[in-house]
Amino acid sequence: MLPRRQDYGMKMTGGVRGGSVINFRTTVSSGRRGSSAVLPSVLTFLVIVASGGLLLMIEKGMLNSMETPPPRGSGKRLDFIRQAGRHGPDAVDVETQILQEIRNRTIRTMCSQKNMPHSIWSLSPLQRKTVLQHILVNDQYHFLYCYVPKVACSNWKRVLKVLSGALESVDVNIKMNHQNDLLFLSSFKPEEIRYRLKHYFKFMFVREPMERLLSAYRNKFGEIQSYQKKYGVEIIKRYRKSRAKDASITGDDVTFGEFVRYLLDEDVERMNEHWMPMYNLCQPCAVNYNFIGSYEHLESDSAYVLQHVGAPPHIQFPERQTWYKPVTTETLHYYLCSLPQKLLKELLPKYILDFSLFTYPLPNTTTQHCRH
């Protein structure tokens, strides 16, 4: 069964990987000219994005059930495009809507497969424990939020604390405590869990998988001493053979390549939450999320959620911190391209469900591209 395998390793050929990269912005903005131009590019994008997990999907027979949208002009699904046309581009961000729709269909299609879990009760005890420990509960506004580290989760936790009255404002300048004053779904009884999963608004936020990984690497190994001690020392002992018995290792100089080798040797279900795949943290097939926002549209997606759950208007999602260091395309390109091809070829499959379910194209790591 796919999600329970220790490592859903998938053999990829350069052809498929190379073929999956596309400039989404170009495709969509060309569709902005009119609603009739949007649909074909949506389809093209869907196909191309799907090719990111194409081999996996062929292997699982998923493509057979990939539904195509209803005919132009007759389907309810096109409503958002028409609305956008009516209210002008500012009223509804067409690009975001299209991405939402594609993500929604991809998840529905892939999760409807027999071998995917359809409820948290069909997960293994370890898988269930992980997801329940990552879902935060707000009973007043009736929502569940599955947090993913490195995807603005501290800010969401702040918002939850403000909503529950534990914190005065989202801007209070304190270091985030990730346990106190938060209510985890794991602390409820099975019937209470069932009730909340059935009736509450459920959401999560996702981010480009390699960007998230790099962000975790740079933060934990660059800045946080406890991580250097706990993981860094172990990694260096394992992968720098000459240092295996060296007691002076501080673990503060783990390279990205060493970090990736370590990830490849880890079981995704037992990883630290900062690098565990988003799929395993939040189980989007077992939990029927109502909304999946993205880091790439953090501001508007967060505003949407807050409005949707009925949060008081004065409670707003915090602005980016001034010390915030974004992972730029160039940085990501630099780190990924500096990895030996052999490691890359194993790394991407390890996170393939994050790429394919949340519809992120695989990065272009052809030697050609990396030469730039």
Ligand X SMILES: *[C@@H]1O[C@H](CO)[C@@H](O)[C@H](O)[C@H]1NC(C)=O
Number of residues that bind ligand X (CB under 6 A): 14
**Cβ distance to ligand X smaller for residue 83 or 104:** 104
> What minimum distance in Å lies between the beta carbon of 77 and ligand X?
8
Q: Output the residue with the shortest Cβ distance to ligand X.
A: 369
**Cβ distance to ligand X smaller for residue 238 or 369:** 369
**Cβ distance to ligand X smaller for residue 60 or 369:** 369
Contacts with ligand X, 81-110, as mask; x by CB under 6 A: -------------------x---x------
**Cβ distance to ligand X smaller for residue 173 or 368:** 368
What is the rounded distance in angstroms from the CA atom of residue 357 to the CA atom of residue 108? 9
**Cβ distance to ligand X smaller for residue 229 or 369:** 369
> What minimum distance in Å lies between the beta carbon of 257 and ligand X?
22
**Cβ distance to ligand X smaller for residue 96 or 127:** 96
Per CB under 6 A, the list member of 118, 297, 345, 369 interacting with ligand X is: 369
**Cβ distance to ligand X smaller for residue 177 or 300:** 300
**Cβ distance to ligand X smaller for residue 8 or 291:** 291
Which segment (16-24, 219-227, 262-270, 294-302) binds ligand X by CB under 6 A? 16-24
> What does the H/E/C string look like for the chain?
CHHHCCCCCCCCCHHHHHHCCCCHHHHHHHHCCCHHHHHHHHHHHHHHHHHHHHHHHHHCCCHHHCCCCCCCCCCHHHHHHHHHHHHCCCCCCHHHHHHHHHHHHHHHHHHCCCCCCCCHHHCCHHHHHHHHHHEEEECCCCEEEECCCCCCHHHHHHHHHHHCCCCCCCCCCCCCCCCCCCCEHHHCCHHHHHHHHHHCEEEEEECCHHHHHHHHHHHHHHHCHHHHHHHHHHHHHHHCHHHCCCCCCCCCCCCHHHHHHHHHCCCHHHCCCCCCCHHHHHCCCCCCCCEEEEHHHHHHHHHHHHHHHCCCCCCCCCCCCCCCCCCCHHHHHHHHHHCCHHHHHHHHHHCHHHHHHCCCCCCCCCHHHHCC
**Cβ distance to ligand X smaller for residue 128 or 202:** 202
Per CB under 6 A, the list member of 2, 18, 60, 333 interacting with ligand X is: 18
- The verdict on 316 binding ligand X (CB under 6 A) reads no
Q: Is 148 left (phi over 0), alpha (psi -120 to 50) or beta?
A: beta
Q: Is 86 left (phi over 0), alpha (psi -120 to 50) or beta?
A: alpha
- Residue 271: how many CB atoms within 10 A of its CB? 17
**Cβ distance to ligand X smaller for residue 116 or 249:** 116
Contacts with ligand X, 253-292, as mask; x by CB under 6 A: ------------------------------------xxxx
Restricting to residues 337-366, which ones interact with ligand X according to CB under 6 A?
364, 366
> What minimum distance in Å lies between the beta carbon of 39 and ligand X?
17
> What minimum distance in Å lies between the beta carbon of 243 and ligand X?
36
8 Å CB contact between 365 and 19: no
Amino acid, res. 324: Y
Per CB under 6 A, the list member of 7, 8, 19, 66 interacting with ligand X is: 19
> What minimum distance in Å lies between the beta carbon of 219 and ligand X?
28
Per CB under 6 A, the list member of 2, 21, 271, 332 interacting with ligand X is: 21
Give the closest residue to 213 by CA, choosing from 100, 354, 6, 30: 354
- Binding residues (CB under 6 A) for ligand X: these are 18-19, 21, 100, 104, 289-292, 364, 366, 368-369, 372
